[in-house]
Amino acid sequence: MTLLNYVDLSNNTFDPSPSPQWFWKLPQLSALVIQSGRLYGTVPMKLFSSPQLQQVILDGNAFNGTLDLGRSISSELSMVSFKDNDFSSVTVTSSYNGTLALAGNPVCDHLPNTAYCNVTQHAPSPAYTTSLVKCFSGACPPEQSMSPQSCGCAYPYQGVMYFRAPFFADVGNGTAFQELESKLWTKLELSPGSVALQDPFFNSDSYMQVQVKLFPSGGPYFNRTEVMRIGFDLSNQTFKPPKEFGPYYFIASPYPFPDRNGPASKSKGAIIGIAVGCGVLLIALVGAAVYAFMQRRRAQKATEELGGPFASWARSEERGGAPRLKGARWFSCEELKRSTNNFAEANELGYGGYGKVYRGMLPNGQFIAIKRAQQGSMQGGHEFKTEIELLSRVHHKNLVGLVGFCFEQGEQMLVYEYMSAGTLRDSLTGKPSSRLVSSR
């Protein structure tokens, strides 16, 4: 606590209370600001003799009785403001040369024309703004401003300085603001005159707000390092303003670096880098497309080499490869449909455990018997393959030879040589064989 030098407790909802003891027990205190703090009673005289004290702003409270600054007023004290309190009298010695503001106290009913009671004493002159008269007139493009040093347009580093408790209330105080300008360009290592201050005013928090513009000296822009350095010095309050400005904080505006303004302002190196990168990417994409195309062609060729049925077999089968057949071939469903006139009823030869048996005729005139598996007798692909491999190997004069098979579109069909003489039973019973009904 003893190290506190700046106290601002304004606008809090404290319980109404008299002046706290610590008011005059903080040896380092330089500014005491409690506006609308619900304080009442008398103000202890000791407060004003605190050795470091420069500023007392206790507006909007309910202090009453007599305001007595005492006889040993701190030589540092320059501002005492008790506006809108209930003081009925005031005692101040001639040794005090600073500002005393008492507007809004009953005492001013008796002393309306004194400087203490002048309501407008805070703004006696127009707000200070850095002069550009030597630059004649002339407008700058958006985001640029005219430098008071070179009179040229440039991109300033700018922001707002908030002085929380300046020791003066006159926003037209040219001497103070010129001192601030000079300290800014000196401490921030800028060219003399390259600082512009604009329209200082007291905001609703009673902070003095000043728009600050700092101009580059070697061109229209600051570089990143300079912006970081200046921004750090102001934002972290490494920069110390003249004493009468008191404590402050700084809110910077974003800086419009040249690379934000589009590709035209990008460096040559960056453009070359981007172009090379795009070229490499394009070559890689073309290479990938050619490779994919070649792979597809190879896959198609391999499929064609495998042959229709075996390719189909390979697609539908996970286990095993194409069947190894002897003298039997693959038929497409379409081919067998045509040969039986779309499996016409008239071409049915019989019905066995496997399913219906149809008579058919191939385009070369060969008759065939087609055993078409019905739903219940369908085998797994692997079993079907094993069966046709086995059947294709069996050749005997008393056995019907396997001509081929069909395995696609959910069909399993075995194609045999057609026995025109019918079955053994037919021969025994003397039943004649049926006439072939062909689609042709």
The footprint of ligand ATP (CB under 6 A) covers 349-354, 357, 369, 371, 400, 416, 418-419, 423
**Complete edge-to-edge strand list for the sheet that includes strand 208-214:** 195-202, 208-214, 157-163, 248-252
Between 74 and 392, CB nearer to ligand ATP: 392
Phi/psi class of residue 378: alpha, beta or left (left: φ > 0; alpha: ψ in -120 to 50)? beta
Q: How far apart are CA 202 and CA 171, in angstroms?
A: 8
CB 368 → ligand ATP: shortest distance, Å? 8
Closest residue by beta carbon to ligand ATP: 352
DSSP 288-355: HHHHHHHHHHHHHHHHHHH-HHHHHHHHH-SSS-S---SS-EE--HHHHHHHTTTT-GGGEEEE-SSE
CB 419 → ligand ATP: shortest distance, Å? 3
Q: Residue type at 405?
A: F
Task: Classify burial at 133, counting beta carbons within 10 Å of its beta carbon; exposed 0-12, middle 13-18, buried 19 or more.
Answer: exposed
CB 339 → ligand ATP: shortest distance, Å? 14
Q: Which two tokens stand for residue 78?
A: 């320059």
Between 286 and 400, CB nearer to ligand ATP: 400
Between 147 and 341, CB nearer to ligand ATP: 341
Q: How far apart are CA 147 and CA 361, in angstroms?
A: 102
Between 357 and 437, CB nearer to ligand ATP: 357
Q: Is the dihedral of CA 293, 298, 304, 309 positive or negative?
A: negative
Between 32 and 391, CB nearer to ligand ATP: 391
CB 291 → ligand ATP: shortest distance, Å? 52
CB 403 → ligand ATP: shortest distance, Å? 10
Going from the C-alpha of 103 to that of each of 60, 107, 121, 283, 410, the distances in angstroms are 10, 9, 10, 80, 103
Between 56 and 373, CB nearer to ligand ATP: 373
CB 424 → ligand ATP: shortest distance, Å? 9
Between 185 and 418, CB nearer to ligand ATP: 418
Q: How far apart are CA 401 and CA 394, in angstroms?
A: 7
List the binding residues.
371
Q: How far apart are CA 102 and CA 108, in angstroms?
A: 7
Q: Residue type at 352?
A: G
Between 246 and 355, CB nearer to ligand ATP: 355
CB 385 → ligand ATP: shortest distance, Å? 19
**Intra-chain end-to-end CA distance of the chain, in Å:** 115
Between 255 and 418, CB nearer to ligand ATP: 418
Secondary-structure breakdown of the chain: helix, strand, coil percentages, each rounded to the nearest 5: 30, 20, 45
SS3 214: strand
CB 342 → ligand ATP: shortest distance, Å? 19
Between 213 and 371, CB nearer to ligand ATP: 371
Task: Classify burial at 17, counting beta carbons within 10 Å of its beta carbon; exposed 0-12, middle 13-18, buried 19 or more.
Answer: exposed
CB 351 → ligand ATP: shortest distance, Å? 6
Task: Classify burial at 256, counting beta carbons within 10 Å of its beta carbon; exposed 0-12, middle 13-18, buried 19 or more.
Answer: middle
Q: How far apart are CA 330 and CA 336, in angstroms?
A: 10
List the binding residues for ATP.
371
Q: Which two tokens stand for residue 20?
A: 């706290």
CB 337 → ligand ATP: shortest distance, Å? 19
